[in-house]
Chains A and B, each alone.
Chain A
Amino acid sequence: METEIPVPAPPIPVVDIQNLSVSYGHQTAVRNLSLTIPAGEVFGFIGPNGAGKTTTIKVLATLLKPTSGSVRVLGTNVMYSPQQVRRNIGYVPDSFGVYEDLTVAEYLSFFAAAYRIEWDNRAATVKDVLALTDLGNKVDAQVDSLSRGMKQRLGIARVLLHDPQLLLLDEPASGLDPRARIELRELLKELQRMGKTILVSSHILHELSQFCTRIGIIEAGQLVAEGSLMDIYRKLDLKRTVHVQISNLTPQMVEGIRRILGITSAEELADRVAIQVREDELAMEDLLDALRGLGARIRMFQPEAMDMETAFMKLTEGKVS
């Protein structure tokens, strides 16, 4: 008698959006958007202003009713059990949403109580989130006196109080200075390490490219591209430029470089060679080996950052929904 090996059920995605449409009167903000985000992923939601990012996030946050389609968070439909969904999400809106007359501790204690965290655990929970967001030394400061970066971190501290599995961050880096952006990025990386699933929206591509495991590009309420960065580059046939300084460069060597498989062009500049590479065909380390194989003595090897702007401009036309 054969014993049946139980097939493990596929894990429930944290976010499952199917054919979501949202209309405000005659205007459609989101049309037929479908999206799935598995657990532990940091999903970057990119699009021009007015593309429908905030609307989608608000539907996930149970603050907006979808016109049609199904939206589930951890298998729970936002329309039928919004209260259950709220326990599993933490939403940071694009505005700070703070009470200026309270201190940081009072602000967090209020939300801890509003999320019905047990009285005995409240102080410890507040202390923990303050430590995580590096606001421990601001515990008695008036919320009004905090900088924009600190207010944003306070907003993240607030949503961590009830330990949700999904974080919805709407333009968290908007209006922050470079230092605050870096601090925020480090905080998000830390949250990612803690296993949180994060959906973060932005219209600035570069800031998401550094920690997002997957991105979705939305325009005029429709998802125009979705996948890992590499997938999108591949889809768009984007190339990466590598700047190489070779001390013994000869015209024959430049010709040899052009013949390497995966290289589309090699342009000789005054002090370097600019090589365009299809990364899906030729990895950076393989290119380095190939150059060494040609006898090149390499002084500098500098791949350019992925050209996210080009990808964005190729995929979008600046349309709003």
Chain B
Amino acid sequence: MPKRKFLQRLHLDWPLLGKELREQSARKQMYVVRVIYAVVLFGAFCFYYMRHLAEGPVLVLGRGMGPFNFLVMAQLLTIYLFLPPLMAGALAQEKERDTLGLLFLTDLTPWELILQKFFGRLIPMLTLLFLSLPLLAVAYSLGGVSTAMLYSSAATLFLTCLWVGALALECSAHEATTFQALIRCWGICLLFAIFCSVGPFQFFMFSSRFLMRPTSGFFFAFPIFFNAVVFLVATFLFLARAKYNLETRAFIQRRNPFGHQFKRLDQYWKDLRKLIRAMSRTQDREARALAEQIIRREMGDKRNSSPGKFMLTEMQVPHLLAFAIIFGAILLIALVGSVMLNPKSGGAFNVAVGGLWILALLTVPIQGANTVASERINERLGAILTTPLTAREMLDEWLGPLQRWIQFLVRPLIVLFVVEGIVKLITQEQGEPAFENVILYLVVSLLTVWIYPKFAQWLCLLIGFRIRNQIRALMTSFLLVVAWCIIPIVLSDYLTETGLLPPDWGEWLRFISPVTVIDTAETIGRSVSANSHLALLIFANLGAVGAIAWMIRRNCLANADRYLGRI
């Protein structure tokens, strides 16, 4: 029997997998991503080698653990960053182009659809990871890395690919669009990372902590085995959930869940304000009429309710207040306590600030680029462009949800900065940070939350204008912002280490990255004396970024008609 017929009889002749691979091989960006990834990985490895191992050919022997560790970590980060966008479109894209129904009509079962889609997106990711094999071989040949470590790190990477891929596929089956699936997946990964960054759960995320220990036998194998079981079970559960979602949420309507929730929240606050006004101004007829309108809208015929009673029973105000007070108190105690315990470190403040900035990094560029791209993909652009609305009015309308989201991220950040500043001032002792340093820290931190999100918003909007393909626009925006954060630091280190750049210049280069600015602001807040040199670099960065943001904004507003295709 010919091999293919035999496979077909066993249902192992996977047509969807073939189609997926064929489709991806037809896309130029896959090759571009591979080349860029290889260049970055090999470049970073060379940099690492030169920085840490270039003392002499003999001295490097037995020091392979460092580069090995570095490579495994880089690969893990790559999986978390690149696998979700790769997998998020697997089923959501079928929904977007109305082809999922056609797949349902074929003889492929839901499990076949899920597995073929899963492997169809996993294989390109694995090919990306295979690029590091020669580098791992170099690290291994330097010595200091056991064969068991090599195998176990490969297993960890593979298992991480499996569960992150399965999670992304579940999100893809759950959501109506690729964008929503991607945000959901990254959101869950971020929560997972936060969960794993505390206490005994750490090894779920980076089991390399255990891999890197030069032990063997039971104590080496047990955590790996335990991790493998957990990851495999998680993979299976996510895939099962994806299959369930595929069957139940195949034809869900596209809608903006953030917008919907924000609208509900808006309505709640508006109603609350009106009701409080009616309660406080009992003689104001207009206020009372408005309150009555709300009660009638919500309760229909059961109108025997006063504004106060309505707030207590229907709007659950006491419950909300109690929750806010308890949650706020716990958060405050945790934050302040962590700083009091160790005043030299930022404690939980740093974790919270870092988490919010990472959330902003993951969402703002993508949402910025999606502002125009989503209008294009939903074919609404033509209709809107022929209305009398000016480009500026359109942009105001489209950017509304993103600006709300930025506000949603920025407000807690501002509260954190202010609370941290106050805590530092209160707990100040001899030799602790000076008052002017705390003020400088507050000013710089507030400027960062004012300037950086706006810069990302306008830059990514411009990218969304110029790149017509949605996924390409989203990925370009995201990668550009990530590159802005990372490349100046890596380049500065490399050029300074190799002597190609004087240290002063290297420091200037380093300060192009917002990560350096945010990190330095935190350092200033903790340092003993004010450092005018660092302050100058920070203000130079903020000034330049602010100016570029203003220019991009001006460009977007002035040329929006042309970018959108209107005369």
**Chain A residues packing against B (C-beta within 8 Å):** 58, 61-64, 83, 86-87, 89, 91, 93, 95-99, 101-102, 106, 110-111, 113-116, 118-120, 158
Contacts and interface: CB of A to CB of B under 8 A. Distances in A.
Given A83-B107, A93-B98, A101-B22, 19 more contacts: A62-B104, A62-B105, A63-B104, A63-B251, A95-B98, A97-B101, A99-B99, A101-B27, A102-B22, A110-B16, A111-B102, A111-B106, A113-B13, A113-B18, A114-B16, A118-B8, A119-B2, A119-B4, A119-B13
A118 B1 CA distance: 13
B97 interface: yes
A115 B16 CA distance: 11
B107 A86 contact: yes
What are the 5 A-B residue pairs with the smallest beta carbon separation, nearest first? A113-B15, A114-B106, A95-B98, A101-B26, A110-B19
Given A86-B107, A119-B2, A93 B102 contact: yes
Nearest to B99: A97
B5 interface: yes
A102 B23 contact: yes
Nearest to B98: A95
5 contacts: A89-B105, A98-B97, A114-B106, A114-B107, A119-B4
B19 A119 contact: no
Nearest to A111: B106
B103 interface: yes
Contact of A97 (B19, B27, B102): B102
Contact of B99 (A98, A115, A120): A98
A98 B15 CA distance: 16
B19 A106 contact: yes
B108 interface: yes
Interface in B441-475: none
A102 B15 CA distance: 13
Contact of A63 (B22, B101, B106, B108): B101
Contact of A99 (B18, B23, B106): B23
B26 A97 contact: no
Contacts of B251: 63-64
Contacts of A115: 106-107
Nearest to B250: A63
B23 A114 contact: no
A73 to B, nearest CB: 12
Contacts of B106: 86, 111, 114-115
* B23, B98, B99, B101: most-surrounded residue (chain A CB, <10 A): B101
A99 B23 CA distance: 8
Contacts of A158: 102
A31 B251 CA distance: 21
A114 B26 contact: no
A231 to B, nearest CB: 33
Contacts of A86: 105-107
Given A113-B18, A119-B5, A97 B98 contact: yes
A63 B103 CA distance: 11
A111 B104 CA distance: 11
B246 to A, nearest CB: 13
B8 A114 contact: no
Interface string B102-116: 111111100000000
Contacts of B8: 116, 118-119
Contacts of A83: 107
B268 to A, nearest CB: 24
Interface string B480-523: 00000000000000000000000000000000000000000000
Interface in B53-110: 97-99, 101-108
B380 to A, nearest CB: 16
Most buried by A among B4, B18, B103, B105: B105
Contacts of B19: 99, 102, 106, 110
A5 B101 CA distance: 47
Contacts of B27: 101
Nearest to B27: A101
Contacts of B15: 110, 113-114
Contacts of B104: 62-63
Contacts of B16: 110, 114
Nearest to B103: A114
A113 B26 CA distance: 20
Contact of A110 (B5, B18, B97): B18
A91 B16 CA distance: 19
B13 A102 contact: no
Nearest to B112: A114
Interface string B351-387: 0000000000000000000000000000000000000
Contacts of A99: 19, 23, 97, 99
A120 B15 CA distance: 15
B519 to A, nearest CB: 42
